Homo-oligomer: A and B are copies of this chain.
């Protein structure tokens, strides 16, 4: 059911700073409200007004530690394949292997400016957790990461990376032991330790001011890309494509282009194995929240959700762990509602083919998350105009095992035969 059928004015009338149209807000336990106000204040002073040179230091560290700017690369062979100009924004080259560090470093640095003494964060597959652990080590902040037990067991390399960066990893046994439970548990820690602790949320989700804060730290992607495409191709692109889980790489890429009315923005979600929710099992075999979700409140914000008719959040599913989330950033919900962003999705197979295709044709092994954007490019490139920017949000080293397993059970058109015979 889409929000346009309903009158949201009745339920959201407060301070418009906290909302994006009908979406956003601060649906959190009372105990956290003062911390959110403190964070709003810090956001305004340090991020918006560069007080004490905060943003200068952030940008300098993202350059020297994080490896920014990342290139915008013309993809020669994709351009040929699709008979149009395809440019890749190379967030896979950011330290840690994904755009996640842009946000993690920004928030850890902000926590430091705020005088916080401790960092906590949730992680699903481990990408945000490793980025936060790296940032916390770099800035000498104690750090604890909550991670579902199931994820701990299936993402060991990322657990070890976090440990090696000095972070504690706290397995969460509740529920299915994945991202949703990790977020819940991190909020519980935060509700207990809020006075000295900052919660580094991993995407443009959560209560205000997180969606704006994270977006502003990630906006560097689009700022760079917009300038680069003009320099390299001489004009703005016809369309910009990015995958969307929570939507941080998405908003980070889109933000700078939102005022450019002629630039189409495509948020590619995980279509998983099907777009239908199984109400009985409480399971969505996808995480296509923007395309198929309904309005509700999850993790502090009003946004589009995958939920049952009874209001329970369902388990989402995608071959890509980083997209596997039942919510989405409220600003994206709003931009979809207003028509500025087009929500689309491709399924697991298209993503796996996208993974293999970029690896094989361009020598870049993309994250499975980013592979969704590439899968969409393959399917719908004819609608994207002559000049297309695709955000490669991360690298796929972390996904090798999954891809091998998933490739084995399918007949993928773009997959090589990976076996090298054994002696």
Give chain A's interface residues, CB within 8 Å of chain B. 63-65, 67, 70-74, 76-77, 90, 92-93, 95, 97, 133-138, 140, 149, 152-153, 157, 159-161, 163-166, 169, 171, 173, 356, 359-365, 397, 400, 403-404, 416-418, 420-423
Whether A157 pairs with B400 at a CB distance below 8 angstroms is: yes
User: Once the chains bind, are B404 and A160 in contact (CB under 8 Å)?
Assistant: yes
Contact of A360 among B149, B164, B362 (CB under 8 A): B164
Q: Which partner residue on chain B sits nearest A131 by CB separation?
A: B363
In the complex, the chain B residue whose C-beta lies closest to that of A356 is B164
Q: 28 A-B pairs, CB-CB below 8 angstroms?
A: A64-B73, A65-B71, A65-B73, A65-B363, A65-B364, A67-B67, A67-B71, A67-B93, A76-B138, A92-B95, A93-B93, A95-B364, A134-B363, A137-B363, A153-B422, A159-B420, A160-B404, A161-B365, A161-B400, A163-B416, A163-B417, A164-B360, A164-B418, A165-B363, A166-B359, A166-B360, A166-B416, A397-B397
User: Taking A73-B65, A423-B171 as contacts, is the C-beta distance between A365 and B165 under 8 angstroms?
Assistant: yes
Q: How far is the CA of A160 from the CA of B164 in the complex (A)?
A: 25
Q: Which residue of B lies closest to A77 (CB)?
A: B140
With the chains together, A64 CA to B231 CA distance in Å?
13
Q: Are B364 and A169 in contact (CB under 8 A)?
A: no
A397 partner, pick from B77, B161, B361, beta carbons under 8 A? B161
- Tell me, in angstroms, the Cα distance from A163 to B70 when the chains sit together: 26
Please determine whether B165 and A421 come into contact, CB atoms closer than 8 angstroms: no
Which residues of B are found within 8 Å of A160, using beta-carbon distances? 400, 404, 418
- Least Cβ distance of A413 to chain B in Å? 14
Q: Are B93 and A165 in contact (CB under 8 A)?
A: no
Bound: A63/B76 CA distance, A: 15
Give the CA-CA distance A422 to B359 in the complex, in Å.
Answer: 35
Say yes or no: A362 contacts B138, CB within 8 Å: yes
A228 — nearest CB in chain B belongs to which residue?
A: B64
List of B residues within 8 angstroms of A164 by Cβ: 356, 359-360, 365, 403, 416, 418
A320: shortest Cβ distance to chain B, in Å?
A: 16
A365 to B167, CA, bound (A): 13
CA of A149 to CA of B152, assembled, Å: 32
A88 CB, min distance to chain B CBs, angstroms? 9
Q: Which residues of chain B have C-beta atoms less than 8 A from A360's C-beta?
A: 137, 164-166
Contact A152 B420 (CB under 8 A): yes
Q: A71-B64, A163-B418, A420-B159 are in contact. Are A359 and B404 (CB under 8 A)?
A: no
Q: How far is the CB of A365 from chain B (nearest CB, A)?
A: 6
CA of A359 to CA of B90 in the docked complex: distance in angstroms? 24
The CA-CA distance from A137 to B160 in the complex, in Å, is: 31
Q: Which residues of B contact A421 (CB under 8 A)?
A: 171
A90 to B159, CA, bound (A): 23
Bound Cα distance from A67 to B134, whole angstroms: 20
Give the shortest distance, in Å, between A112 (CB) and chain B (any CB).
12
Residues in chain B near residue A416, CB distance under 8 A: 163-164, 166
CA A405 to CA B416, docked complex, whole Å:
31
Q: Quick one: closest B residue to A397, CB to CB?
A: B397
Q: Which residues from B are CB-within-8-Å of A417?
A: 163
Q: Smallest Cβ distance from A405 to chain B, in angstroms?
A: 11
The smallest C-beta distance from A358 to any residue of chain B, in angstroms, reads 9
A295 to chain B, nearest CB (A): 36
Q: Which residues of B are found within 8 Å of A65, using beta-carbon distances? A: 71, 73, 363-364
Q: How far is the CA of A160 from the CA of B90 in the complex (A)?
A: 22
- In the assembled complex, the CB of A164 is this many whole angstroms from the nearest CB of chain B, namely 4
Instruction: For the complex formed, measure the closest distance between the CB of A232 and the CB atoms of chain B, giving whole angstroms.
Output: 8
List residues of chain B with CB within 8 A of the CB of A90: 67, 95
From B169, B363, B422, contact of A135 by CB (8 A): B363
Interface centre among A93, A157, A169, A361 (most CB of B within 10 A): A93
**In the complex, A423 Cα to B174 Cα: how many Å?**
12
CB distance from A363 to the nearest CB of B (A): 3
Query: Roughly how many angstroms separate A419 CA and B93 CA in the complex, as a whole number?
Result: 29
